[in-house]
Structure 1
Amino acid sequence: MKKYNSFIMLLCLSSLLSGCAESNILDKIGLTTLVGYDLGTEDKMEITAVIREVNPEFQSNVEIITTENDTSKGNRMKANRKLSKKITVGQMRVILFGEKLAKENLHYYIDLNLENANVSNGLYMAVVEDETAPLLNYKYENIDDIGQHIFRLLEQNITQEYMISPTLHETAHDFYSIGRDIAMPIIKRDEEHIEMSGIALFKGGTMVSTLPVKDSFFVKLVRDSFKSGFFETNLKEEEMPPGLLKKPSSEIPIVFDAIRSKRELKLIDASTPEFDLNLKLKARVLEIYPDVNLGDPELVKKLEKTISKNLSNEISRVIAHAQEVESDIFGFGEKYRSTVRNSDLTKEKWHEMYKNMKVNVDIDFVILRNGVFE
């Protein structure tokens, strides 16, 4: 019994000591949750860091510090001189890049964070319209922690499959792969809100173009497979099969969700090169306006074909734009390299071939018989 009581006392003492140690550690460090990179003056690096400080009572305070120096470590030293606590990066969740910097080259910044053992490979990366410093330093009325807010914004849009996933690991993979380029979400400030505004397309480490945010659905369809998802498109009156509309309308908005997709990419001609891209989609029509005649199974089949053609045209448009700016964010080059033996493919060689690539897009869209039909 005495041994048992002694064990309990030691256990309680250990818990108290560990609790004190944790308080002392949190009392001495500042947790960097987000870092924004911008072009500084005279080729310097400007960094804006969002730092959470926790006091012994576990109350937190958010500091936002902007510094400018020749190196990342130099910026950290400058930031440390402005704080009473040592800055750490182990809790960093987001890295943002100013648009001007992204148009220069992000190679150095990808390597910088990839080689830092304290930085998680799962953190998100995104581009900011204009510069990161004004977006992060703005005094928002309803946002207390800008770092956490932007992390949650990216996380929920990626989780719900509204946006492509841009983790450090995925970005580094795309950058170093022959036959694939980087794509990142773009965010901007709109008055008191921060919102997704598009997708940044890269050639190598340099941002070369953008796509509007609505095109993220098409980009994700070609790059990945959907497990859920939600999408809205507009069908033109001339696209609709006869007899489907109950009353004339110049445009028919249609919303579908519960999307399931399967992607098959096949190289059919290595010399051009030419690919067959087959996409099979199943989705539930959630909403359609104006009223349409969906009681006839034959008309439903015609609607499926109409949506298939619409999606095929949109995907072909997005691929054509990416080809025009020589940004293979879809990984066609990876498929080419894995299919063609001894291709000796290089990034430069593939970008030249990519411009003249041909893709035959075939969509098989199936409406799940629930939702609007019930």
Structure 2
Amino acid sequence: MKKRIKAGLLLLLVGTFFLPSLSGCAYKGVDKRSFVVGIGVDPAEGNGKDDKFKVTLKIAKPIASLKSNTENEYAYLVHESDSVAEAMRYLDTEADKVLDYSQTKILALNPEILSGDLFQLMDYFVRRGDFQLLLYVVAAVPSAEEVLKVKPKLESAGENSLYNFFDETGTESPFVVTTFLFEFRRDYDTKGLSTVLPIVRGEDSSKFIVNHSIVLKDTVEPVELGLLETKLYNSLKKNSSGFGYQIDNEGYKFTLTLDRINMKIKIQTKDGQKPRAVVRIKAVGAVNESNKLLHLKELGHYDRLSAEKLTEEVKELFESLQSKDVDPFGFGLKYRATRLHTDSLLDEWKAIYPELEFDVKVDLQLKSVGAIQ
């Protein structure tokens, strides 16, 4: 019995002695890692005949302490190849440390590569296990490389300003669309739905501008959404609230803040009638600013003026997207989800969508006129 105990203790001591050396072979310390914080993909500039993509990696340089450093420092690796996977493998040879993607949160794509089939491009980033599916995917203008190299003046050490636009811990704006990598792949692959990406513009290499978005569908050219269109999309599709809307109707000009907004869609296809999309929107808000004195007893009148203007703007947006054959609000997905599945269901929707009429009605309730009486 004692011999067995001694043998067990001896094995335990030997295992404890060799365990650190075994684990050290598989794990690289922090000092042997280079942390990539952003990836950019642009079309190749033509240095190689077969090159299709130019990949840029933004790597954070280590800092001694936040007190001793007033700004971030980055290094950039750039390579062109016929595929993103090949470019990434080549960039491993340009770094003396292991490229670590655990802190990568930005995937910037040049709008020029967003036309046509994107499945091969998305497939690489989704398949790699060291890429998070929570990457923020953005369309970068004028190029992904230039956007990644922007150095905002207000960015402090240990901070990445571009993250703050999308993670809801920094700025909160109705013009900022947030799209994760898993959403990008899911929506792009969904029949009857178009995916939307935020457009990030780098200006003067010192600031970001994020107030437009782009709608993608593999069979048509990308469609850019302006300021108002992006704001409406955020409010209606993402249920974003707390944002201001300008109302100009019957001589009244005032700004509304919508606290709650909800949209419901129903697709009606009756024999002998044109197909209709019945859209009902309910919103609750208050008046923030007005060019005239407003009275609380006339709140119902202001409700009607605001609802009429919002109805007009929403219907114009739907019809504009319809004319360009994109569907970011998912009318086609709603049609497919409420019908018995058949092999011809998708073809039926493709024939219906160009003829679809939009019956939009906004039920807006204002809580106050923004003044104390």
* Cα-to-partner distance string for 1:307-356 (whole Å, 9 max, x where unaligned): 11111111111111111111111111111011121343566653443222
Deviations along 1:127-151, one digit per CA (max 9) or x if unpaired, are 1223111222345544467992212
Distance 2:255 2:270 in 1: 38
Aligned residues: 340
Going from structure 1 to structure 2, the CA distance change for 1:348 and 1:307 (only over 3 Å counts) comes to: same
**SS of residue matched to 2:278:** strand
Give the structure-2-normalised TM-score. Answer: 0.80
* Partner Cα separation in structure 1 for residue 198 and residue 312 of structure 2: 23
Distance apart, 1:114 and its partner CA = 1.4
The verdict on how the C-alpha distance between 1:352 and 1:200 changes in structure 2, with shifts beyond 3 A counting, is: farther
The match for 2:303 is 304
* Residue matched to 2:199: 186
* Partner secondary structure for residue 197 of structure 2: strand
Q: Is the deviation greater in 72-81 or in 313-322?
A: 72-81
Counterpart of 1:275? 277
Aligned to 2:13: none
The more displaced of 65-74 and 172-181 is 65-74
State the partner residue of 1:13.
Answer: none
Matches within 5 A, 1:160-239: 160=172, 162=174, 163-191=176-204, 192-204=206-218, 207-226=221-240, 228-236=241-249, 238=250
Verify: 1:120 aligned to 2:132, yes or no. yes
Match for residue 7 of structure 1?
none
Distance of 1:184 and 1:215 partners within structure 2: 13
Q: 1:175 deviation in Å?
A: 1.2
The CA distance in 1 between the partners of 2:340 and 2:173, in whole Å, is 35
Q: 1:46 aligns with which of 18, 32, 54?
A: 54
Q: Alpha carbons of 1:301 and 1:345: their partners in 2 closer, same or farther (altered >3 Å)?
A: farther
Query: In the alignment, which residue of structure 2 is the partner of 1:29?
Result: 33
Q: Does 1:315 align with 2:314?
A: yes
Q: Distance in 1 between matches of 2:263 and 2:178?
A: 17
Kindly indicate whether the alpha-carbon contact (under 8 Å) linking 1:31 and 1:90 is maintained by their aligned counterparts in 2.
yes
Closer, same or farther: CA 199–364 of 1 in aligned 2, 3 Å: same
Consecutive unaligned residues of structure 2, counting only runs of 5 or more, are 1-19
CA distance in 2, matches of 1:86, 1:274: 56
Q: Which amino acid aligns with 2:148?
A: L
Deviation at 1:373, TM superposition (A): 4.6
The amino acid of 1:28's aligned partner reads: K
For residues 109 and 190 of structure 1, the distance between their equivalents in structure 2, rounded to whole angstroms, comes to 27
Distance 2:248 2:330 in 1: 29
Question: Is residue 256 of structure 1 aligned with residue 263 of structure 2?
Answer: no
Would the aligned equivalents of 2:106 and 2:135 in 1 still touch at CA under 8 Å? yes
Distance 1:177 1:85 in 2: 39
Kept in 2, the 8 Å contact 1:37–1:96? The answer is: yes
Q: What do residues 107-141 of structure 1 show as CA deviations (whole Å, max 9, x unaligned)?
A: 22222111222211122111122311122234554
Q: Counterparts of 1:146 and 1:64 in 2: how far apart (Å)?
A: 17
Question: Aligned to 2:125, what secondary structure does the other structure show?
Answer: helix
Whole-Å separation in 1 of the counterparts to 2:359 and 2:311: 9
Match of 1:94 among 106, 111, 115: 106
- The question of 1:80 aligning with 2:92 is answered yes
Task: Give the share of equivalent positions with the same residue, in percent.
Answer: 16
Quickly say closer, same or farther: Cα 1:69–1:79, change in 2 above 3 A. Answer: same
Please say which structure displays the higher CA radius of gyration.
Answer: 2
